[in-house]
Amino acid sequence: MLDIKELRKDPSAFEAKLKTKIPEVDIGPVIALDEKLRAIKTEVEELKSKRNQSSKEIGYRKQKGEDIAAFMAEMGALGDKIAVRDQEAARLESDIHEMLAVLPNLPMDDIPVSPSPKDNVCIKMVGEKPEFPFPFKNHVELNEELRLFDFPRAAKISGSGWPLYRGMGARLEWALLNYMLDTHRANGFTQIMPPLLVRPETMYGSAHLPKFESQLFKIKDEDYHLYLIPTSESALNGMHMDEILEEEHLPLMYTAYTPCFRREAGAAGSQERGLIRTHQFNKVELFCLTAPEDSPRVYEKMLASAEEVLQGLGLHYRNMLLTTGDMSFAAAKTIDIEVWLPGQNRYYEVSSVSNCTDFQARRSQIRFRKKNEKPQFVHTLNGSGLATSRLMVALLENNQQADGSILVPKILHKYLEEEIVAIKPR
């Protein structure tokens, strides 16, 4: 959530920057309500001051034995007026809070300004696209012989857009997850296993509510009102809601594997078939809480840890600095890591590493205390480390052989119980 105090300083400049993310943003109503609220608060302070003076006057006249009935009536009237104004102020504060809750985070100053992802900037390229001396296949076509996934039976169980891994597909997925967790733990991240269902307050704190309500799966009945996590970021952010952390404990660096659930599964075109975009997918998340001055350094550490996974797998990828219009609601800066998928003839995101500054911390009331100073908000950072569905596609499509088999990267051999050099058609 944005700081209303910062918004007041230069509303026009503030709005102009917000419009680079969401062009239709209008902060005029927020400013108008804020001015009204401050006027009421000023009036309440004046009324309370007047009531205090009346109280002193009543005490003085009581001592002199004078009639105080008129003063008591005035005191009562002042009290009634203060109560009415306090109620108005509370309503205005609630309205302002709701308006601020749907405003996005401000982009950092060095972010390319554009509404289009076409203007994202490639800041790094690692490896090269593979060349195939044979007609290559996409992962759905490869799966016809490999039988790593069973999409028809997944649809039978849950409907379209849900995955079912089987046999070597399930084992390879599990190997990827363990490899990624091992990598991040070695880089100083503490592994967490969070709940998969979280409270509305938790989703609000991570900024997934109220804006993304329609994209979430939820349980709501007489006993429960919970959301299935769209990413473990929401749960990891919720771990420290309403806490004041000590500076010496920062940064807190977490990694977590969870399934993730999203209603929006994308288009049904040929490029979106199979594992490319599903309602449920596996992801290893990176999440950090840090002092503001340390967040650039921690950001680079997160990005490097995510890249290390791809480098170990020998996959060609690129890092893209997102434009203001392509960044997420909560992000102030985002770099997407994209792998090349030959079967789709394009790059696809497997990690999105974002610095959310104090945006989530302000919503979640997560602060830290420097010695002898007032508590201040932490910065939160999140990144996929990585999402496995597209990563699995990248492994299959980039490592396919002429006979339809798949070479398994050497770094995964130890996770497969036996050394499996290649997955072969049955």
Q: Which residues are catalytic?
A: 262, 277, 349, 352, 390
- Half-sphere exposure of residue 384, counting CA atoms within 13 Å on the CB side? 24
> Would strands 317-321 and 280-290 be described as parallel, antiparallel, or unpaired?
unpaired
> Would strands 121-126 and 376-377 be described as parallel, antiparallel, or unpaired?
unpaired
- What gap in Å lies between CA 59 and CA 24, rounded to an integer? 57
Give SS3 for 356. Answer: coil
Question: Phi-psi bin for 268: left (phi > 0), alpha (psi -120 to 50), beta?
Answer: alpha
Beta strands in 242-359 (DSSP E): 244-246, 252-261, 280-290, 317-321, 333-341, 346-355
> Would strands 252-261 and 190-192 be described as parallel, antiparallel, or unpaired?
parallel
Report which secondary-structure segment, H or E, holds 368. Answer: strand 367-369
What is the sign of the dihedral through the CA atoms of 293, 308, 386 and 123?
positive
Question: Phi-psi bin for 345: left (phi > 0), alpha (psi -120 to 50), beta?
Answer: left
* Chain-centroid distance, C-alpha 136: 36
Phi, psi (degrees; rounded to nearest 5) at 370: -85, 155
**Helices 168-186, 139-146: inter-axial angle, 10-degree rounding:** 120
Which residues lie closer than 8 Å to 383 by C-beta, 6 or more apart?
285, 286, 287, 302, 303, 306, 351, 352, 353, 354
